Structure formats: C-alpha cells, structure tokens
Amino acid sequence: MDAVQKTMSGFSLDLGPLKEPLGFIRVLEWVFTIFAFATTGGYSGKTHFTVICGQEVKDVEPVFNYPFRLSDHPYKVPFCNGSTSNNTYLQGDFSSSAEFFVCVGVFGFLYCTATLILYLGYQHVYRQTSRGPIIDLLLTAAFAFLWLVSSSAWGKGLTDVKYATNPEHLVSSCKNLTCKAEEYPSMGRLNASVIFGFLNLILWAGNCWFIYKETPFHKDPNPPANIEEGGAPGP
C-alpha cells in the first residue's frame, strides 16, 4: 500500500504535456503574466515643461512612478525673479487600479508556476481523479475574469495618468508666468502592460476549454457498447 501511494505521489518529470494545448498555453500564460506585471511595477517617468523668462528658459521636470500616487511627488516652479514657488503637486491617485493589476499578475504567475510543476511532474496525480481538473478549471476561469476586470481598470487608470502628467495640462496652471509644454512622458511601457493584460485575458479564457476537456463534464456519460458489452452484431 505504501509503495502504491509513493508511486502515485512521487515526482516524475514528463515534458509531454508541453506538446499539448493544456501545457503549451500554460507556458504562454506564465510568460505573458510576467510581462504584464513587470511592465507596470517599477515604472518611473517624468514630464517636462519650461518657464520662459525673456531669453532665459528654466526647465521643470516633475517625476512620478509606480504605484502612481501622483500627489506624493512635489515639484517647484521657478519664478523669473530667481525665487521658486512652494511645493506643487501632480494631481491624482491611481494606485488602486495599478496595484490591483500587478497583484493579479503576481498571483497568476505563482499559479502558472504551481500548475506547470503539477503538469510536468505530477501528471499521474493530476489525472488520477476528477478533482484536479475541476479545481484547475474553476481557478483558471476566475483568473480570466480577474484579468478582464484588472486590465479594464488599469486601462482607465492609465488614461487618467496620461492626462494628469500631460505637460499641456500642467502649463495651464501657470499663473503670471509664460510656460511652454515640452516632452510628453514616455508611456510605451505602460501601454504595453495594458496590451499584455488583455492578451492574458484571451489566453486564460481560451485555456478554459482545454482544461474543460480534462474534466468528467466533457466525457460522454453513455459510451457506445462494444461487442463484448453489447452482444453480437446483427446480420
């Protein structure tokens, strides 16, 4: 009995599942999940406008970064008489949508890692009962829903970040000064994060079908009887 249990629970590396949609799509999910949260977390950028004082041009470069609590980043606007203003702040707090998106990505990465170990090392345990595929299906569907919600929320949050850091918007608050908008913040990395979020939605939602095929819900409950079970064939 102990030998049987040891055989059922022991690690046995098998790369065969990677050739099937179940394992191959999970690898893609693992990669795209990393891209999603890596392109958002750790981001740092700056916007740029200038104050024109006759022939002299003074640069103002407010900085901001993940998790996009913009009001935590003060900057000073120089006056033409040589003094500077009190601390001025970028407006807006978009940390909730950004952190939610990164959180979904991190937990999705951990789940992909765990299931890949299960697929490649414990495939016999995974298929031993119907419980494993059913739980896998429910969690994969839950992650697909979370990707939909988090990607939509972060897409809206990113739009608001772009508006709040737009130098055209910032120079409109200059009072008694001549200000000119300069370079816009580089947002290519953040745009990619939203794209990766929706790609993950497609991957996780599509993978539900292949996991569903592993569950007993997909199997025919009444398979056709063979000759031994159904009797001799008719004339």
| pLDDT tens sequence across 106-161 | 999 999 999 999 888 887 777 777 788 889 999 999 999 999 999 999 999 999 99
Residue 74 structure tokens: 């003060």
What pLDDT is recorded for position 5? 47
Helix (H) or strand (E) holding 211, with range, is: helix 188-212
Number of domains in the chain: 1
| Res 218 pLDDT > 80 | no
- Mean pLDDT is highest, among 10-19, 59-68, 96-105, 182-191, for 96-105
Does residue 164 form part of some domain?
yes
Contact 17, 120 (CB under 8 A): yes
Does residue 220 form part of some domain?
no
> Does the reported pTM lie above 0.85?
no
Buried b (16+ CB within 10 A) or exposed e, 203-230: bbbebbebbbebbeeeeeeeeeeeeeee
State which amino acid sits at residue 5: Q
Closest to 181 (Cα-Cα) out of 172, 190, 193: 172
Does residue 162 form part of some domain?
yes
State which amino acid sits at residue 128: Q
More confident residue, 124 or 27: 27
Sequence-distant (≥ 6) Cβ neighbours of residue 154 within 8 angstroms: 40, 97, 98, 100, 101, 193, 194, 197
Which residue carries 């740029």 as its tokens? 48
CB atoms < 10 A from the CB of 6, how many? Answer: 9
Percent of the chain with pLDDT over 70: 88
| Res 198 pLDDT > 90 | yes
Facing residues of 78 across strands? 84
What pLDDT is recorded for position 39? 94
Sequence-distant (≥ 6) Cβ neighbours of residue 191 within 8 angstroms: 158
Does residue 232 form part of some domain?
no
CB atoms < 10 A from the CB of 136, how many? Answer: 23
Does residue 178 form part of some domain?
yes
Range of the domain at 162: 14-215
Residue 195 structure tokens: 């794209």
Sequence-distant (≥ 6) Cβ neighbours of residue 198 within 8 angstroms: 147, 151
Does residue 97 form part of some domain?
yes
Does residue 233 form part of some domain?
no
Q: How far apart are the C-alpha atoms of 130 and 111, rounded to whole Å?
A: 19
Does residue 25 form part of some domain?
yes
